[in-house]
Amino acid sequence: MAITQLSVYLENKPGTLSQVINTISDAGINIRALSLADTRDFGILRLIVSDVQATRAILDDQAFATETEVIAVKMSDKAGALGNILKILEDESINIEYTYAFTSPSREQACVVFRVGDTKAAEKVLNTYGEITLNDEDLKDLL
Amino acid sequence: MKNYYQKEIETAPYEEIVKIQNEKLKKQVRRVYDNVAYYRDLMDKKGVKPEDIQTIDDIKKLPFLTKDDLREAYPYGLLGTDLKNCVRIQSTSGTTGKRVVAFYTQHDIDLWEECCARAIVAAGGTNEDVVQVCYGYGLFTGGPGLNGGSHKVGCLTLPMSSGNTERQIQFMMDLNATILCCTPSYAAYIGESLAERGYKPEDNKLKAGIFGAEPWTEEMRRSIEKSLGIKAYDIYGLTETSGPGVAFECEEQNGMHINEDHFYAEIIDPNTGEVLPEGSRGELVFTSLDKEGFPLLRYRTKDICVLTRKKCSCGRTHIKMSKPMGRSDDMMIIRGVNVFPSQIETVLLKEGYSPNYQIVVDRARNNDTFDVYIELNPDQVSDVVSDIQARERSLEAAMRSMLGIGPKIHLVPPKSITRSEGKAVRVIDKRNLHD
Ligand SMILES: [Zn+2]
């Protein structure tokens, strides 16, 4: 299942980030979630967008973008929901490369995104424990 | 099957070549002494007269010329004949100071183009070939030289000049180009561009490439050969001696035969000026034996290389020069260590990185800073920070073991380093800005 994240590799220079964001929004593409990891030299921008192919096409000459499979887990509104998910991954020795979260205002729904080594295996584990993971289609409904 | 453009001279026995050189040098020194006041003064200062030069070995007695002399004598000071006998100038890409302007009579143009024709034939060219020349045309010697050589061989010549990669590819594919002439960095770029458009190496009709005008490594040769599906040949030359074609590679691809019926080569110790025996590494010095317009004697090229006169399987008897191992100009002294860009390129290709890099040297708090920016190949890009950092660490270690000092490595996105379509800008040294 999993969802498709767009990963944009950027030089850490003034203006590169805003330039990418502006290009995407100017094209009328929705950025549903955004997370930036940066070092002194480079930054990796991780995006969940409404149209992956269109975003790649408009970024073509401006930035280098690749598709990455990540897991999106629906968070229940119960207290400690995130803690539960993390506990499952820890118990099953699944190493998390990075994680971030986003919410859907229309559905009042929060999602947490995980990047792990073996997406399929991790997703199966989470499902076994009763957690609901999303695919690209679900995402369309959500936003 | 062995092919030569001028078989008799290209395969002449050594004694024959020496005989030609003896005669040509005597005449040339006389001409220069009579016509070039600047060089006459140098000879007089050294106490050498034209009659002291009887054989090619006497060349040692003559004074050297350097780039500084060329600047000082600019523009007409080293002209070897009346301007009315000259038909063309070519000029070096200006770096610092004055440009070098070289003059050519029709005789000079013909011998230059013949040298290029020898190179094209050595790369397998015949009158059935389609030669795509994407060296710059104009003042730069690359375009005009290979263009003229291609005409002499009778090839269909595509005078593309540099740049406009889209159009280069269109002509290459539509007109079935078989031989590509350009800088190695541009050849690599064309290879990438073809792959991006979905072409496989076997989709083009190219069989050979003649690449020069900038330093490149064996690793780069292999990567270009693979991406274009060709055999890549090196060619050497400089505006001061005529242009490309002073020396060229044969099918052995290990060293370039110098056209020594026209250009006499010596290797000297760059510090003492002493002539070194065959096989020694040192600075390459050229004498034009029969050029009329710009007849430089003992011109110091600043290229560091080795000359060898071993029997070559191609049948050519002319002496071979190794690929220049660096220019004394390019050599950087960083924190007291000699660093050549070619060493960095070697590490990059060995470690599987693209040959697109830039070195930036600067000074901070009285210490040299040494940064190398390297483009990631598309399949090397990761969305995980630690992957990139691990790559940076391992590259830094590889560089340190090659160079003796470790640069700060910066991995940048694919295609983010500006490509020049002429010569690649590999080194930016900002240290002298502070002086
Ligand atoms: Zn040979």
Q: Tens of pLDDT along B368-410? A: 999 999 999 999 999 999 999 999 999 999 999 988 899 999 9
Give A68's contacts in chain B (Cβ within 8 Å).
383
Give B382's contacts in chain A (Cβ within 8 Å).
7, 9, 44
Same domain, B54 and B158: yes
pLDDT (tens digit per residue) in B95-132: 555 688 999 999 999 999 999 999 999 999 999 999 99
Give B386's contacts in chain A (Cβ within 8 Å).
97
Instruction: Give chain B's mean pLDDT.
Output: 92
Considering CB atoms only, which of A5, A39, A66 is closest to B385?
A39
Same domain, B49 and B117: yes
Asked whether the CA dihedral A16, A18, A19, A24 is positive or negative, the reply is positive
User: Closest Cα to residue B287, out of B105, B61, B130?
Assistant: B61
B434 within a domain of the structure (yes/no): no
Same domain, B321 and B346: no
Separation of CA B339 from chain center: 19
> CB burial class (10 A; 0-12, 13-18, 19+) of residue B367?
exposed
Nearest CA in chain B to A99: B384
Same domain, B141 and B52: yes
B270 within a domain of the structure (yes/no): yes
Domain count, chain B: 2
pLDDT grade, residue B422 (50/70/90)?
Answer: low
Nearest CA in chain B to A97: B384
Give B412's contacts in chain A (Cβ within 8 Å).
11, 42
Maximal CA-CA distance, chain A: 45
Best residue of B166, B192, B369, B383 to probe chain A, by most A CBs closer than 10 Å: B383
Q: Which residues contact B232 (CB under 8 A, 6 or more apart)?
A: B184, B187, B208, B209, B211, B221, B224, B225, B253
pLDDT grade, residue B272 (50/70/90)?
Answer: confident
Same domain, A91 and A136: yes
CATH number at residue A137: 3.30.70.260
CA distance B423 to chain A (A): 23
> In this structure, what token pair is assigned to residue A85?
């998910």
B98 within a domain of the structure (yes/no): yes
- Domain termination site, one of A68, A96, A114: A68
Stretch B325-334: mean pLDDT, rounded?
Answer: 75
Considering CB atoms only, which of B378, B381, B416 is closest to A11?
B416
- Domain termination site, one of A43, A68, A93: A68
**Residue B409: its pLDDT value, please?**
96
Same domain, B258 and B311: yes
Q: CB contact, 8 Å: B411 with chain A? A: yes
Q: pLDDT: is B423 or B325 the higher one? A: B325
Same domain, B191 and B338: no
Residue with token string 């770029």: B189
Same domain, A102 and A64: no
Cβ separation B384–A115 shorter than 8 A: yes
Considering CB atoms only, which of B378, B386, B411 is closest to A42?
B411
Same domain, B118 and B46: yes
Chain A residues interacting with chain B (CB cutoff of 8 angstroms): 5, 7, 9-11, 37, 39, 41-42, 44, 46, 63-64, 66, 68, 97-98, 115
B1 within a domain of the structure (yes/no): no
Nearest CA in chain A to B417: A11
Same domain, A10 and A48: yes
Give B388's contacts in chain A (Cβ within 8 Å).
39, 42, 44
**Residue B80: its pLDDT value, please?**
97
pLDDT over 80 (residue B287): yes
pLDDT (tens digit per residue) in B353-369: 988 899 999 998 888 99
Give A98's contacts in chain B (Cβ within 8 Å).
384-385
pLDDT over 70 (residue B165): yes
pLDDT (tens digit per residue) in B215-261: 788 888 999 999 999 999 999 999 999 999 999 999 999 999 999 99
pLDDT over 70 (residue B94): no
β partners of residue B409: B372
Same domain, A96 and A47: no
> In this structure, what token pair is assigned to residue B21?
């050189």
Same domain, A76 and A133: yes
pLDDT over 80 (residue B416): yes
Range of the domain at A83: 70-142
For B134-153, letters b (16+ CB in 10 Å) and e give bbbbebbbbbbbbbbbbbbb
- Restricting to B residues 379-408, those with a Cβ less than 8 Å away from any Cβ of A are 381-386, 388-389, 392
Same domain, A20 and A75: no
Same domain, A94 and A131: yes
Same domain, A130 and A93: yes
Same domain, B321 and B340: no
Same domain, A74 and A138: yes
Neighbours of ion ligand 1 (CB under 5 A): B 250, 252, 312, 314, 316
- How far is Cα B55 from Cα B36, in angstroms, rounded to an integer? 21
CA distance A105 to chain B (A): 27
Contact B283, B302 (CB under 8 A): yes
**3-state DSSP: chain A helix, strand, coil percent, rounded to 5?**
35, 40, 30
**3-state DSSP: chain B helix, strand, coil percent, rounded to 5?**
35, 25, 40
CATH number at residue B367: 3.30.300.30
Domain count, chain A: 2
CA distance A4 to chain B (A): 12
Range of the domain at B95: 7-328
Same domain, B381 and B318: no
Same domain, B305 and B337: no
β partners of residue A68: A5
CA atoms within 13 A on the CB side of B19: 6
**Residue B97: its pLDDT value, please?**
57
Same domain, B346 and B242: no
pLDDT grade, residue B62 (50/70/90)?
Answer: very high
pLDDT over 70 (residue B423): no
Considering CB atoms only, which of A5, A46, A64 is closest to B413?
A64
Provide long-range contacts, Cβ within 8 A and 24+ apart, for A22-27: A23/A58, A23/A59, A23/A62, A24/A49, A24/A55, A24/A58, A24/A59, A27/A54, A27/A55, A27/A58
- How far is Cα B310 from Cα B319, in angstroms, rounded to an integer? 8
How many Å is the Cα radius of gyration of chain B?
22
Cβ separation B410–A98 shorter than 8 A: no
Nearest CA in chain A to B383: A7
- Domain termination site, one of B258, B293, B328: B328
pLDDT (tens digit per residue) in B180-218: 999 999 999 999 999 999 999 999 999 999 999 887 888
- Domain termination site, one of B303, B328, B353: B328
**Residue A46: its pLDDT value, please?**
96
Cβ separation B378–A64 shorter than 8 A: yes
Same domain, A112 and A56: no
- Domain termination site, one of A15, A45, A68: A68
Same domain, A79 and A36: no
Please tell me the distance between residue B314's alpha carbon and the centre of ligand 1 in angstroms.
4
CATH number at residue B180: 3.40.50.12780
Please tell me the distance between residue B129's alpha carbon and the centre of ligand 1 in angstroms.
21
CATH number at residue A59: 3.30.2130.10
Same domain, A44 and A90: no
How many Å is the Cα radius of gyration of chain A?
16
Residues of chain A predicted below pLDDT 70? 105-107, 142-143
CA distance B392 to chain A (A): 11
B416 within a domain of the structure (yes/no): yes
- Domain termination site, one of B328, B361, B394: B328
